[in-house]
Amino acid sequence: MTFDFDLDRRIFLNGTAQITNLDAKVRDRVTHSIRVLQNGSVIELPSGTTLRFSVKAKTGLAGGYLVTALGTQSGSGTSTQYAFDLNFNTVEMIAAIGTAETLPCYSELEIEWTSGQRVSSKFLNTTVDADLNRGDEGDPTAANPERQLRDSTNTTSVNWEARELMDSFGGTVADWGLRALYGANVSVSMTWGNRMLHDSTSVPTVDWEGKKLREGWTADGGFRVGAGGELIADIRSATATLNTPLPAGGAAIANVTVTGVTTANTPSVALGWDAAPGNSEAAVLAAWVSGDDTVSILFYDMLGNAVTVGETVRVTVTQF
The CB density around residue 292, as the number of other CB atoms within 10 Å, is 12
Q: Which of 296, 258, 298 is nearest to 282 (CA)?
A: 298
Predicted TM-score of the model (pTM) = 0.46
**165 and 243: one domain?**
no
Residues 23 and 64 in one domain: yes
pLDDT tens by residue, 214-238 = 333 333 445 555 666 555 555 666 7
Answer yes or no: is 140 within a domain: no
Are 7 and 46 in the same domain?
yes
Q: What are phi and psi of 191, to 5 degrees?
A: -90, 145
Q: Do 8 and 125 lie in a common domain?
A: yes
Same domain? For 199 and 263 the reply is no
Which pLDDT belongs to residue 143? 77
Same domain, 312 and 293: yes
- Give the domain CATH number at 55: 2.60.40.10
Residue 39 lies in a domain: yes
CA–CA distance, 137 with 168 (Å, rounded to integer): 41
Is 125 found in the same domain as 38? yes
Residues of the chain with pLDDT under 50: 160-165, 173-200, 202, 204-221, 275-280
Model confidence pLDDT, tens digit, residues 163-195: 444 555 555 544 443 333 333 332 333 333 333
Q: Please check whether residues 103 and 201 belong to one and the same domain.
A: no
The answer to the question of residue 146 being in a domain is no
- Same domain? For 7 and 58 the reply is yes
Taking the CA of residue 304 as centre, how many other CA atoms within 13 Å lie in the half-sphere pointing to its CB? 0
Number of domains the chain is built from: 3
Instruction: Assess contact for 177 and 160: CB atoms under 8 A.
Output: no
What is the per-residue pLDDT for 186?
29
Range of the domain at 313: 236-319
